[in-house]
Amino acid sequence: MLEENKKANPLDSNLPNPTDPSDPTFTYYPDSSISWTLEGTLTFLGWITITGGVIAALYLGVSLETMKVSPYTDYVYGTPHPMRWLYAAGAFMSFLCSGALMLGVGQALKYLEEIKAKLN
């Protein structure tokens, strides 16, 4: 069999390395030193949850209405719900607990990684 008809072995170590900058087939990965970690993602999602909870609670407290019908004119009008701020506080506390839980788990994972690094 002729040498040029041979196919390259995918397990051969002489194949071009796309991550080696001296190789002409090098593929550039911008800022590949920064990687997403689980603890960073949980921290980010925790802050997003708390921020979203503040916005949702303010919206709920300001915009919740009850519809009333006038018995004389059959006119429908909205009045502020009497318990709207209580509902807003409940929603905020729910978002706050969820966000704090995510932040806490993220910090616990960060500390576990530091302990693992010290042991190795």
User: Are the beta carbons of 27 and 19 closer than 8 angstroms?
Assistant: yes
**Beta partners for residue 76, in sequence order:** 69
- pLDDT by residue, tens only, the chain of 120 residues: 555 555 655 555 555 555 556 655 555 555 555 567 888 899 999 999 999 999 999 999 999 998 888 888 878 888 889 999 999 999 999 999 999 999 999 999 999 989 998 998
**Beta partners for residue 69, in sequence order:** 76
Residue reference for tokens 């069999």: 1
Q: What pLDDT shows up at residue 50?
A: 97
Q: What is the CA radius of gyration of the chain?
A: 29
CA distance 34 to 20: 18
Q: Where are the alpha helices (DSSP H) in 1-83?
A: 38-63
Q: pTM for this structure?
A: 0.64
